[in-house]
Chains A and B, each alone.
Chain A
């Protein structure tokens, strides 16, 4: 294998590994921009992965799986919204609860329904998202050097959720920046009292953001179970929701940088897998764990203000209490 193919393969797996991070990061971004901190991204993705795998298995349709995944994730989001917005509860506590609940419920139900240690039966055929070949992929590979190969290998040949997730980046950027809804939503995250004074419902906007957050987590979870893998495995999110949280901080709560951060973390992951057991000249064997730990380590260093400053929305994490 020549070096170009190697790079193409690494970039391809970078995209695959970044997608769940991207979905969860955009989800967290929406929620936090409205002032609702969401530690429960992980739990929502996990529940979505489970629900989508079950629905896809039962109906034999990957799209039904996506619907079920989004529905389950939005329901959990509403639980979070109920606690955090309506009852002004501690948002972090609620997020932790959602993560635990999801970790337990998926295994209990999976085990009771299928008796395979929490796994769902393998998905085949139309129950999985097939890889889409973009137009001209084959022809470009043959006739255009380098770019053609990259186009065919990296850009083309992913399942539908991948393209939906990437499409969500410009949509998020546009809605947040250029629409009235987005402006109001950002205002609610910075200064809810001002929004309230203008006669706009703080709770309404925050519930809206929380639901969008649920939809995106649903997409991410479905991608994991119905597109990337062929079924649900216990704990299959494996901390991706938390890395996504790190990506949101990295991106300073902005959509395009969030895409960049997720691609970077995905690339690190792809390299870590690639480097397993490989001896590097001059360095020797790099422990895989060292690369896996990098996103977490970088986030801690970033948060400590050693590389740039992370500025969250001003009202994030604070329940809004109307003054009388």
Chain B
């Protein structure tokens, strides 16, 4: 992210500025709700109740959170290297194809081998699809932003072709693969916890959630505690200084993009192996783009990513419940909020920093 001349204490920069911009984003969404003749307060209450008011609601919320942790981390890792990866959708799509091929071809293997292999195949597919734009930028100078946009469309058309003509389930009207074998899928949390005497209602929440938590810790350790993470951050902060220090910006660009793609692949793991148990067309459903909001709002830090992923999980699940109660407010409201968050937390960062700085100065004077 660009350096701004406005000096703020660290707590304000990491906590207050995102908080103010998210609040402003929610206010804008409130205006839209008001505009279509509904009460924003009532809508908020319904939304929170739907997302957090029951164990079942919370299960759904955490299932959505899992998706956003993966796509948010993907954006965050690339950001640390100074790259803006908007190819999460495409990377997850390709990851899904690799993962589905592994699940279908390697089905004779026992689950203990098959599941990790399929997850690795998905991560490898995403990594490869992130690596290519990184490689193109590093060696041929084509900008990652433009190539990842093009790659999103290429992945989408490729997956339509494959799911309709090659991998599709014969006789199915929908573009989808045959169902994965029972031992090729991830255990739902309610089944996992049942033997321990914990009874939960059935939700799509599955062990991919644990994988997402592990990814948060691993990425934190990698970015802030490892030599590679230091190299990535140095390249992101100042490529010329990095080159002077013996770090190859080209190499870090490729590494960061591959890593970013692999993380985006986690979306496919949760959706295809954890919930749908097959590969559906367009399973990415915009999660990759919301990941940009999550990564920006979380300031690229895993703790921030976890918090903002949870916020968007609440919005998604609460939004689904809300649209059930209030048919005029569709789930697309969440997309609006995502867009405004990206605008405020990402592009209008300077404005909100200035507002916060002015606010702090006023308090000091008073």
A interface, CB within 8 angstroms of B: 39, 79, 82-84, 87-94, 96-105, 107-109, 111-113, 115, 118, 239, 242, 245-246, 249, 287, 289-290, 292-293, 296-297, 299-300, 303-305, 319
A94 to B292, CA, bound (A): 11
Please give me the residue from chain B that is nearest to A79 by CB atom: B343
Contacts of A118 in B (CB 8 A): 330, 332
Chain B interface extent, by class: 35 or more
Interface residue SS majority, chain B: helix
A218 to B123, CA, bound (A): 41
Check if A93 sits within 8 Å of B153, measured CB to CB. Answer: no
Provide a sorted-by-A list of 6 A–B residue pairs whose CB atoms are within 8 angstroms.
Answer: A90-B84, A100-B335, A104-B332, A109-B36, A289-B157, A292-B157
Check if A97 sits within 8 Å of B146, measured CB to CB. Answer: no
Contacts of B63 in A (CB 8 A): none
Check if A299 sits within 8 Å of B338, measured CB to CB. Answer: no
Check if B289 sits within 8 Å of A305, measured CB to CB. Answer: no
Check if A84 sits within 8 Å of B347, measured CB to CB. Answer: yes
Please give me the residue from chain B that is nearest to A95 by CB atom: B347
B174 at the A/B interface (Cβ < 8 Å)?
no
Known A83-B343, A89-B346, A242-B150; 11 more pairs at CB < 8 Å = A82-B348, A83-B348, A90-B2, A100-B339, A101-B340, A103-B332, A104-B337, A108-B36, A112-B330, A115-B328, A290-B161
B149 at the A/B interface (Cβ < 8 Å)?
yes
B145 at the A/B interface (Cβ < 8 Å)?
yes
Check if B347 sits within 8 Å of A91, measured CB to CB. Answer: yes
Min CB gap A35→B, angstroms: 15
B182 at the A/B interface (Cβ < 8 Å)?
no
Check if B339 sits within 8 Å of A101, measured CB to CB. Answer: yes
Interface residues of B in 146-167 (CB under 8 A from A): 146-147, 149-151, 153-154, 157-158, 160-161, 165
Supposing A83-B348, A101-B343, A297-B154 touch, asked if A303 and B146 sit within 8 A by C-beta, the answer is yes
Supposing A83-B348, A108-B332, A293-B154 touch, asked if A303 and B339 sit within 8 A by C-beta, the answer is no
Please give me the residue from chain B that is nearest to A111 by CB atom: B330
Contacts of B349 in A (CB 8 A): 87, 89-90
A252 to B195, CA, bound (A): 64
Check if B140 sits within 8 Å of A97, measured CB to CB. Answer: no
Check if B161 sits within 8 Å of A287, measured CB to CB. Answer: yes
B14 at the A/B interface (Cβ < 8 Å)?
no
A97 to B338, CA, bound (A): 8
A20 to B142, CA, bound (A): 26
Check if A300 sits within 8 Å of B343, measured CB to CB. Answer: no
Min CB gap B146→A, angstroms: 6
Check if A100 sits within 8 Å of B342, measured CB to CB. Answer: yes
B interface, CB within 8 angstroms of A: 1-2, 32, 35-37, 84, 86, 136, 140-143, 145-147, 149-151, 153-154, 157-158, 160-161, 165, 286, 289-290, 292-293, 296, 327-330, 332-343, 346-351
Contacts of B339 in A (CB 8 A): 97-105
A111 to B336, CA, bound (A): 14
Check if A300 sits within 8 Å of B142, measured CB to CB. Answer: yes
A287 to B158, CA, bound (A): 10
Check if A90 sits within 8 Å of B336, measured CB to CB. Answer: no
Check if B328 sits within 8 Å of A111, measured CB to CB. Answer: yes
Contacts of A79 in B (CB 8 A): 343
Check if B32 sits within 8 Å of A105, measured CB to CB. Answer: yes
Partner of B161, one of A89, A113, A289, A303: A289
Min CB gap A140→B, angstroms: 40
A305 to B32, CA, bound (A): 45
Partner of A296, one of B154, B338, B342: B154
Closest 5 A/B residue pairs (Cβ) = A104-B335, A101-B339, A100-B339, A94-B347, A303-B142
Supposing A107-B330, A300-B136, A300-B150 touch, asked if A96 and B289 sit within 8 A by C-beta, the answer is yes
A103 to B332, CA, bound (A): 8
Contacts of B336 in A (CB 8 A): 100-101, 104-105, 108
Check if B84 sits within 8 Å of A299, measured CB to CB. Answer: no
Supposing A89-B347, A239-B153, A293-B153 touch, asked if A96 and B342 sit within 8 A by C-beta, the answer is yes
Supposing A90-B1, A296-B153, A300-B150 touch, asked if A305 and B141 sit within 8 A by C-beta, the answer is yes
Min CB gap B149→A, angstroms: 6
Check if A87 sits within 8 Å of B347, measured CB to CB. Answer: yes
